[in-house]
Amino acid sequence: MSAPALTQRDLIAHELFLRDVFSRFITFKTHSLYFPKSEDDALAAGFGPQCATAVHLPAERKVMTPLCADGRLLGVFVARGASLGAPRTLLPLLPRLGAMALTQLGLLLAADADRLTGLGSGEALLAAIAREIECVQDRILPGAASFVDPGLSGCHGGFGLAVLDLDHFSRVAGRFGFMVAEDVLVGAAAVIGRLCPEGGLAARLTDDLFALFLPGASAARCRETAELVLGELSRTAFPLAATGESLTLTASAGCVTYPQDVRGGQFAAAPAEQARLLLRKAKKGLAVAKDLGRNQAMPYNRILAEGGAVLEILPLSRLAVSLGRWVDAEPGQRFLVWSPRLERTVDVRTADGQRLSGRTPAMVKGEIVLVEVGEDMAFAETLNVSDPHLPLEPGDRLALIPETEDEAPGASCPVGAPRKDPASGLFAHRDFLRATAADREKRPVFSLALVVLPEVATQRRPGRPAEADMAEVGSVCRQFFGPAAVGGRFSASKLVFFLPERSPGQLAEAGADLIAALAERLGLTAAVGIAGYPCLNYARTDVPENCRKALDHALLLPQEPRLAVFDTLSLTVSGDRHFAHGDIYAAMEEYKQALLSDETNVLARNSLGICLARLGRLAQARAEFERVITAEPKNTMALYNLGCVRQRLGEAAGARTAFQKCLRANPGHVSSLLRLGRMAEESRRLEAALKYYRRASATGNAPALTLRHLARLALTRGRLDEAREHLHQALLLDPKDAFSLQLMARLYLTEGEDPAIAEAMARQAVALRPDRKEFWAELSRALAAQGRDEEAREAMARTEGV
């Protein structure tokens, strides 16, 4: 397939590329694009036959160069404040330079596009995801940058990725030939590209595997978009030119969202690595969707709950299932087993000839519990079978049983004393829970220690089975934890120990010595999390969860020993994780518990204030920030956040004071400079605003954000060329800055230039930030300027919430 023809939208998106080309041959201050409404446009006529010469207006210092491709006039590059050294020589050459620039642009676009379908390539998709991850990471974590409201930052808080695969597509090539299959692929790609939302990216990865990148999409919207595409594909008839027939296709999809589907240490990976990790998770969802019957979308975060299946029935009431650590499966999780084969439609005809029909409900065949979890699969034990005549069998589906607080330990366990593994001397996870449940309830003091090791399979010493290594690890742990310690296997790489009559503080030294001994004797790099009872207002049943939080805290430590005793920092880390996943209320609970443990924890108090502000509880947030400042008067994070809250409360003087104190503590605090500049601009103190913005620009931090503010100020002062240049630079640094796109649309409308360009930019802005009413108003103005009154009214209705 030849490279797709360039469009006006391509020129708008790559205006800066054109500027760089022309700036090598002529000198100008600012530039813009103009799109003649027709070939008969008066300006187009000035370019002469075949648009062979540029137009020079010396009095206005303008040079207008036609941009032609394949004999079509696509647009006009307008250079303002231009100087021509040799007009007679340059004017006939500039259209040729424009044509060469368009040819080069076409090659650049072709390099990022799939040759067959014209969609984006896999490399372009990964690059776009990596760029978006960098933007999202600046917003999702608690801190000064995360509180910045949408008026200052245009970043999304996340995005979605859907991977789609055509079902049984190899049969098309086998039956009709490869050339026909390619034609069908092109048709399917056209459907996918047409349904890709504004601001998103549709790409072809390999063969019949496609992807949709959806900036700003939630998990629900990502799934809805994927299902919309699947539905449209199934309804589309693809013609077969050779036979005159047509065929229909179905497709399956897997969805993933960022940051919700990223866990723990995965956040520490480079953006490019995280991009590939997300793609793999989306493919995992796709594989599950195909396994469960095709023609459906499976979100990654639903695989554990509803995407598991029985793979093989093993002796001794054991079975292999399709869930592993990759989808967050853990030992001890219980599942209902049901069979889709038992679901069927029932038709009954009554004596009077009436026909009754219905569908049999899902029949639960039994219940299982995971006992050993690997990377991609797990082994489970059968807890009970509903009907001996309906045994569990491969292909049966799994449904996760949610954990409940009041669930009795071992309620579904078989009768008999807990048994230790003879090789390692450790209880299996289920037997460990049974062995320690009663003892835990009667002990006034006890602790749990969770020890995580590297994957044993990857560090196994030659000539020794894995269980021999695990037995030695267990022996070393008991040596440091004492003979009263009860040990169990939490998973393939985790051990858990119950330590009666020992407080967490008493075990810290033993835990550090254990880590050193495992490294010295066995060459294993371990991490240990310890939690105990009593602790704050936690019940005994909360200790295992607290132990997991302590281990998460330990794994984040930058250096050895990676040991954490459950404390206020563990709770802060847990709160940050909830905050990153968008669960504000759960984050607040963790921060409150962290402050209950240590009221001097300024990180937790500041983060609690941010959560309160996000929920609109501004007075409470202000009180929390003021407490932090009382303890640490030069805490820039709290000073800045206090200024933001006071500004939202209408306390302009107090906000200004807080921002100025923040600058005294850190003169290069860009956000405070921009806030002060914005406040000065709103009070019409334009010179003061300019000083603040220039100070922010001089720091070299957040250049795109600073340029946008400078552009808005220049627009207010009537310096349109200066505003245009600032916006060009801002969009060069951040092409998806919705606020800069909206300002550029306003600038085009203010100057009376082509409203089609303003419409394109306004549409990009509303696609990126549909919650901003002023963006819809700008789009309405652009549509009205083109005489599209009905569409303009619809856009304006969005500003009123209609």
Confidence grade of residue 641 (pLDDT, cut at 50, 70, 90): very high
Is residue 771 assigned to a domain?
A: no
Task: Give mean pLDDT, residues 743-768.
Answer: 85
What DSSP element (H or E) covers 404? none
Residue 144 sits in the same domain as residue 184: yes
Residue 203 sits in the same domain as residue 282: yes
Residue 294 sits in the same domain as residue 320: no
Minimal CA–CA distance to 745: which of 777, 778, 714?
Answer: 778
Q: What does the alpha-carbon distance between residue 559 and residue 712 come to, in Å, rounded to a whole number?
A: 46
Strand partners, 495: 451, 489
Q: What is the CATH number of the domain that holds 344?
A: 2.40.10.410
pLDDT at residue 42 in the model: 67
pLDDT at residue 151 in the model: 45
Give yes or no for residue 33 having a pLDDT over 90.
Answer: no
Confidence grade of residue 150 (pLDDT, cut at 50, 70, 90): very low
Is residue 742 assigned to a domain?
A: no
Confidence grade of residue 236 (pLDDT, cut at 50, 70, 90): very high
Residue finishing a domain among 477, 495, 527? 527
Task: Give mean pLDDT, residues 402-418.
Answer: 54
What does the buried/exposed string (b/e) look like for 774-784 if buried means 16 or more CB atoms within 10 Å of the residue's CB?
ebbbbbbbbbb
Instruction: Find the range with the poorest average confidence among 362-371, 538-547, 655-664, 772-781.
Output: 362-371
Confidence grade of residue 361 (pLDDT, cut at 50, 70, 90): low
> For residues 99 and 429, which has the higher predicted lDDT (pLDDT)?
99
449-472 pLDDT, tens digit each: 999 887 544 444 554 455 566 778
- On average, the pLDDT of the chain sits at 86
Give yes or no for residue 411 having a pLDDT over 60.
Answer: no
Residue finishing a domain among 81, 111, 141? 111
Q: Angle at the Cα of 758 (from 755 to 763), degrees rounded to 5?
A: 125
Is residue 626 assigned to a domain?
A: no
Confidence grade of residue 579 (pLDDT, cut at 50, 70, 90): confident
pLDDT at residue 416 in the model: 64
Is residue 686 assigned to a domain?
A: no
257-298 pLDDT, tens digit each: 998 888 766 777 889 999 999 999 999 999 999 988 889 999
Give yes or no for residue 547 having a pLDDT over 90.
Answer: yes
pLDDT at residue 95 in the model: 92
Residue 87 sits in the same domain as residue 164: no
Minimal CA–CA distance to 412: which of 497, 333, 314, 339?
Answer: 333
For tokens 């023609």, the residue is: 295
Share of residues in the chain with pLDDT > 90 (%)? 46
Give yes or no for residue 190 having a pLDDT over 90.
Answer: yes
Task: Give mean pLDDT, residues 183-206.
Answer: 91
Highest mean pLDDT among 37-41, 47-51, 345-349: 47-51
Q: What does the alpha-carbon distance between residue 685 and residue 688 come to, in Å, rounded to a whole number?
A: 6
pLDDT at residue 531 in the model: 96
Share of residues in the chain with pLDDT > 70 (%)? 91
What DSSP element (H or E) covers 202? strand 201-206
Give yes or no for residue 147 having a pLDDT over 60.
Answer: no
Residue 214 sits in the same domain as residue 141: yes
pLDDT at residue 352 in the model: 72
Confidence grade of residue 1 (pLDDT, cut at 50, 70, 90): very low
Residue 58 sits in the same domain as residue 92: yes
297-345 pLDDT, tens digit each: 999 999 998 899 999 999 988 999 999 888 888 887 889 998 887 766 6
Residue 164 sits in the same domain as residue 278: yes
pLDDT at residue 357 in the model: 72
For tokens 């090789």, the residue is: 423
Residue 148 sits in the same domain as residue 89: no
Q: Angle at the Cα of 194 (from 193 to 200), degrees rounded to 5?
A: 60
Q: What is the CATH number of the domain that holds 257?
A: 3.30.70.270
pLDDT at residue 36 in the model: 76
Q: How many domains does the chain have?
A: 4
Confidence grade of residue 405 (pLDDT, cut at 50, 70, 90): very low
Is residue 511 assigned to a domain?
A: yes
Instruction: Find the range with the poorest average confidence among 79-88, 175-184, 313-322.
Output: 79-88
pLDDT at residue 50 in the model: 84
Residue finishing a domain among 304, 326, 348? 304
Is residue 67 assigned to a domain?
A: yes
> For residues 482 and 145, which has the higher predicted lDDT (pLDDT)?
482
Contact 455, 492 (CB under 8 A): yes
472-497 pLDDT, tens digit each: 888 899 889 988 999 988 776 788 99
Residue 154 sits in the same domain as residue 250: yes
Give yes or no for residue 583 having a pLDDT over 80.
Answer: yes
**Neighbouring C-beta atoms of residue 281, cutoff 10 Å:** 26
Give yes or no for residue 239 having a pLDDT over 60.
Answer: yes
Residue 264 sits in the same domain as residue 200: yes
pLDDT at residue 467 in the model: 58
**Neighbouring C-beta atoms of residue 454, cutoff 10 Å:** 13
pLDDT at residue 279 in the model: 94
Residue 464 sits in the same domain as residue 385: no
Is residue 348 assigned to a domain?
A: yes
Q: What does the alpha-carbon distance between residue 155 and residue 157 come to, in Å, rounded to a whole number?
A: 7
Give yes or no for residue 577 having a pLDDT over 90.
Answer: no
368-390 pLDDT, tens digit each: 988 888 888 999 999 888 888 88
Give yes or no for residue 149 having a pLDDT over 50.
Answer: no
> For residues 714 and 374, which has the higher predicted lDDT (pLDDT)?
714
pLDDT at residue 466 in the model: 54
Residue 326 sits in the same domain as residue 288: no
Q: Model-level pTM? A: 0.73
Contact 381, 318 (CB under 8 A): yes
pLDDT at residue 720 in the model: 86
Q: Alpha helix (H) ranges present in 122-258?
A: 122-140, 144-147, 170-176, 178-195, 219-235
Minimal CA–CA distance to 377: which of 318, 452, 327, 423?
Answer: 327
Contact 149, 732 (CB under 8 A): no
649-656: long-range contacts at Cβ-Cβ below 8 A with a sequence spacing of 24 or more? Answer: 649/618, 649/619, 649/622, 652/679, 655/679
Is residue 767 assigned to a domain?
A: no
Contact 594, 571 (CB under 8 A): yes
Going by C-beta distance under 8 Å and a sequence separation of 6 or more, which residues neighbour residue 750? 715, 720
Q: What does the alpha-carbon distance between residue 469 and residue 522 come to, in Å, rounded to a whole number?
A: 8
Instruction: Find the range with the poorest average confidence among 54-68, 247-261, 409-423, 591-605.
Output: 409-423
CB neighbour class for 355 (10 Å; exposed up to 12, middle 13-18, buried from 19)? exposed
Give yes or no for residue 144 having a pLDDT over 50.
Answer: no
Give yes or no for residue 61 having a pLDDT over 70.
Answer: yes
Domain residue limits at 75? 8-111
For tokens 């650590």, the residue is: 325
